[in-house]
Amino acid sequence: MRPQTKTFVSIMDTQATAGETNTYSFDRKDYDYANINLSIMGTETTDPPTVMHLTHSDDNTTFATFTGFTGGTDFTIPTAIRTLGNASQGPTIVKFRANLQAAKRYVKVTCNAATKMTQVVNVELSNPDESPENATAAGVAVLCVG
């Protein structure tokens, strides 16, 4: 059955303050593609982040630019961020669709805060060398297959 995926979700920060930079790195070993959703919501104003990018690394310590995924250079960072008080609209989401075939083993999401904001990252890896056969391997609490 295709596609088989593995999921990671991380709350990078619920109270990120102005100028604070948050990161989340994940191991993409054995997976060729990723959909990475970076969800951001302001708590006081709607000022956008000024830094938003993906980097990659062989050892999860020294990261290099991931070509095509640098905000302000390769794509436009959203100019308005929704506030938490406007829940009917939901968060502002930036989606990275990454071909990982030539990427290093670890990928890191970086986002800073211009004002107080919540930052959540959701990663869905796909096209594995071997299909995850249980919940743990799929990165979820329960795996239902039908």
| Domains and their CATH numbers in the chain | 5-129 (2.60.120.380)
What is the pLDDT at residue 87? 59
pLDDT exceeds cutoff 90 at 89: no
Nearest to 33 by CA among 124, 105, 142: 124
At 48 the three-state DSSP class reads coil
- Tell me: the pLDDT tens digits for 103-138? 999 999 999 987 788 889 999 999 888 777 888 888
- Please report where in the chains the tokens 């990427």 appear, as a residue: 103
Q: CA 19, 25, 27 angle in degrees (round to 5)?
A: 175
Residues in the chain, overall count: 146
Q: Please tell me the distance from the alpha carbon of residue 90 to that of residue 40, in angstroms, as a whole number.
A: 9
Strands 117-128 and 5-16: what pairing? antiparallel
Whole-prediction pTM value? 0.87
